[in-house]
Amino acid sequence: MLTTVVWAIALLIAITIHEFSHALAADKLGDPTASLAGRISLNPLKHLDPIGTLMLLVFHFGWGKPVPFDPFNLRHPKRDSALISLAGPASNLILAAICSILLKTLPISFIGSIILIPVIIMNVNLAIFNLLPIPPLDGAKILYGFLPKGWADEYNDFMRSYGTILLILLILPIGGKSLAINLILPVVNLLNGFLL
């Protein structure tokens, strides 16, 4: 029971910081849409997506409720959209790194380590999964934003046609594990090994 509660808290922290960072980045880059929707908030209830949360609890990867933003309010829509998308995973990795430093440098109690370790793991999992370049994950917008225009348009057209199918294939467990887990696991294990 205690383990479930701790992992649920770690999940809430990871999703909240991720979506809060998207909203804050959008606001700083000139679009008030997320701010007006009340998404520049550290209240977890503002950011939970039922399916994404369930995926995180069951498979240890998933997503929060997408943060709305209007690219027409951005000074450089293509680039700034990528930066807004990057803010979420980056904030998760920064939080995981901060927790790792606390764990390794301060005289953390056993109770403290029980909380910090799941926070590190959940933030790393959420960040790396969201960096996969398939819509609606952050990685798709990041890749689109930094590709040259011609390539970006081709990528966008391809993902508009096949993105949903690719995402379903990534998430469905085949032989006990989803393709997404197989793809992200080496990077997740590497980062967790370094941070823990």
8 A C-beta contact, residue 70 and residue 31: yes
Q: Of residues 12, 15, 17, 19, which has the active-site annotation?
A: 19
Asked whether the bond before 135 is cis by omega within 30 degrees of 0, the reply is no
8 A C-beta contact, residue 101 and residue 111: no
3-state secondary structure 123-145: HHHHHHHHCCCCCCCHHHHHHHH
Beta-bridged to residue 174, according to DSSP, are: 177
In 3D, which of 58, 64, 62 has the Cα closest to residue 176? 58
In 3D, which of 104, 113, 96, 84 has the Cα closest to residue 25? 84
Distance CA 122, CA 145 (A): 26
Distance CA 96, CA 122 (A): 9
8 A C-beta contact, residue 42 and residue 35: no
- 154 catalytic? Reply is no
What positions carry a catalytic annotation? 19
